C-alpha cells in the first residue's frame, strides 16, 4: 500500500460510490429491487474473470486433501462468516469429517451472531490462529477479505506460508490496490456496492459463489460425487434420507421399498448400496472395493 493510502481506504474499489444508486433513498420499492437485480449481474462476470484461478485453487486443494491435509477458510465479519458457513455445509453434503474443512472467524463463535469487526485489525491474531490449528505443509489456507486489507487475514496468510501450507487469497479489489503474498490470488471485482461500502452485498454474494465452486469442485475431484449426485450424503435427518433414497432409486431403478431395504443393508451409505446392487455383492465386499479405489465410486464402478 502506498504512503498516501496508509490511513485511508477511500481508493479501494469496494469503498467507491455507486453512481447507479445515487438516489437509492428516492426509489420505489420495485425500482430498488430491480436495481439490486441489475447490479448482481456483476457477480457472474467477476466469477467468469477468475475462472482460471478458481480452477487452479480446486486442483491445489484436492491434491492437498488427498495427502491428508485440511482446508481452512479464515476471515473477519461477513467474509469470515461465509467461510464458516461453507465449511459447515461440507459434512452433511459430502460426509466429510468436520476437521477436513474448517472456518476460522475473527472473534470466534460469538462473532457469528454479534459484530466484532474490531478484531480484524490484529494481524498477530490471524497468525496465532494458524499456530493454534497446527497448520502444516499439506494444509490449504484461504484468506477471505472483501476489501483486501484485513490485517487478521494477511497475518494468517503470512504465518501459513511460513509453516509450509498452500495459501489462497480472495478479495473484491484489484491486485494493484492491495497486494497479496498468497500462492493463488483470486480477485472478484464486482464494483461499488449499492449501499456504499457495504461489502455484505455484491462482495458477499460473489464470495459465497466462489466458495461454492471451491468446495464443491474439490469434492468432485475427491470422488464425493457420481454424475451430479451427492453419493456421499450423510443420512442424518428425514430430508437427507429422502435424498439418499431418491439417488438409489434413480441409479438402480428399484422401487422405494426395495431402495430402502438396500440402503439399510449398506449401513446408510449410498455408494456402498449402489455397488451392492450393481455387482450383487454384500456390504463388506462393496466396502472393500470402495476402499481399494480410495472411496471413489466412479473409479470403482469403471474398474469392475
Residue that the C-alpha cell 456390504 belongs to: 283
Give the tens place of pLDDT for each residue, 209-218.
Answer: 999 999 999 9
**What backbone phi and psi angles, to 5 degrees, belong to 225?**
-130, 140
- In percent, the amount of the chain with pLDDT more than 70 equals 97
The pLDDT score that the predictor gives to residue 238 is: 95
Mean pLDDT of 170-198: 97
Nearest Cα residue to 61 out of 87, 82, 88:
87
Q: Does residue 1 or residue 215 have the better pLDDT? A: 215
The pLDDT score that the predictor gives to residue 86 is: 98
Give the tens place of pLDDT for each residue, 35-44.
Answer: 999 999 999 9
- In this prediction the pTM is 0.91
Give the tens place of pLDDT for each residue, 25-78.
Answer: 999 999 999 999 999 999 999 999 999 999 999 999 999 999 999 999 999 999
Cβ atoms of 184 and 52 closer than 8 Å: no
* Confidence at 2, pLDDT banded by 50, 70, 90: very low
* Confidence at 121, pLDDT banded by 50, 70, 90: confident
Residue 126 CB contacts under 8 Å (≥ 6 apart), including other chains: 74, 106, 151, 152, 153, 154, 155, 156, 157, 159
The pLDDT score that the predictor gives to residue 7 is: 57
The pLDDT mean for the chain works out to 94
**Residues carrying an active site annotation:** 89, 120
* Angle between helix 123-132 and 151-162 (nearest 10): 40
CA distance 246 to 242: 6
The pLDDT score that the predictor gives to residue 104 is: 97
Write the CA distances from 120 to 87, 105, 262, integer angstroms: 20, 9, 50
Write the secondary structure of 64-95 as one string of H (helix), E (strand) and C (coil): HHHCCCCEEEEECHHHHHHHHHHHHHHHHHHC
The pLDDT score that the predictor gives to residue 124 is: 95
CA distance 127 to 163: 10
Residue 153 CB contacts under 8 Å (≥ 6 apart), including other chains: 74, 75, 76, 79, 120, 126, 143, 144, 145, 169
Give the tens place of pLDDT for each residue, 134-166.
Answer: 999 999 999 999 999 999 999 999 999 999 999
Q: Is the pLDDT of residue 291 over 70?
A: yes
* Confidence at 185, pLDDT banded by 50, 70, 90: very high
* Confidence at 1, pLDDT banded by 50, 70, 90: very low
Amino acid at each position: 500500500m502506498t504512503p498516501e493510502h496508509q490511513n485511508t481506504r477511500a481508493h479501494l474499489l469496494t469503498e467507491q460510490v455507486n453512481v447507479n444508486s445515487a438516489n437509492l433513498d428516492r426509489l420505489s420499492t420495485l425500482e430498488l429491487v430491480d436495481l439490486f437485480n441489475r447490479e448482481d449481474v456483476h457477480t457472474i462476470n467477476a466469477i467468469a474473470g477468475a475462472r482460471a484461478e478458481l480452477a487452479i485453487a480446486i486442483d491445489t486443494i484436492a491434491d492437498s486433501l488427498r495427502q491428508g491435509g485440511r482446508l481452512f477458510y479464515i476471515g473477519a465479519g461477513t467474509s469470515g462468516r461465509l467461510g464458516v458457513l461453507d465449511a459447515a455445509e461440507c459434512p452433511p453434503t459430502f460426509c466429510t469429517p468436520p476437521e477436513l474443512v474448517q472456518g476460522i472467524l475473527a472473534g470466534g463463535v460469538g462473532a457469528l451472531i454479534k459484530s466484532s469487526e474490531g478484531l480484524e485489525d490484529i494481524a498477530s491474531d490471524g497468525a496465532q490462529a494458524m499456530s493454534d490449528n497446527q497448520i502444516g505443509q499439506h494444509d490449504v489456507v484461504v484468506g477471505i477479505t472483501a476489501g483486501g486489507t484485513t490485517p487478521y487475514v494477511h497475518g494468517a496468510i503470512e504465518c501459513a506460508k511460513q509453516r509450509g501450507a498452500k495459501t489462497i487469497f480472495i478479495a473484491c479489489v484489484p491486485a494493484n490496490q492491495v497486494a497479496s503474498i498468497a500462492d493463488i490470488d483470486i480477485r472478484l471485482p464486482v464494483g461499488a456496492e449499492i449501499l456504499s461500502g457495504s461489502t455484505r452485498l455484491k462482495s458477499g454474494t460473489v464470495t459465497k459463489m466462489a466458495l461454492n465452486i471451491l468446495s464443491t469442485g474439490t469434492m468432485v475431484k475427491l470422488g464425493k460425487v457420481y454424475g451430479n449426485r451427492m453419493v456421499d450424503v450423510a443420512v442424518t435427518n428425514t430430508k437427507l434420507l429422502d435424498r439418499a433414497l431418491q439417488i438409489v432409486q434413480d441409479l438402480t431403478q428399484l422401487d422405494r421399498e426395495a431402495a430402502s431395504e438396500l440402503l439399510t443393508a449398506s449401513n446408510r451409505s449410498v455408494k456402498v448400496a449402489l455397488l451392492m446392487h450393481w455387482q450383487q455383492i454384500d456390504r463388506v465386499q462393496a466396502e472393500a472395493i470402495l476402499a481399494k479405489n480410495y472411496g471413489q465410486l466412479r473409479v470403482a464402478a469403471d474398474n469392475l
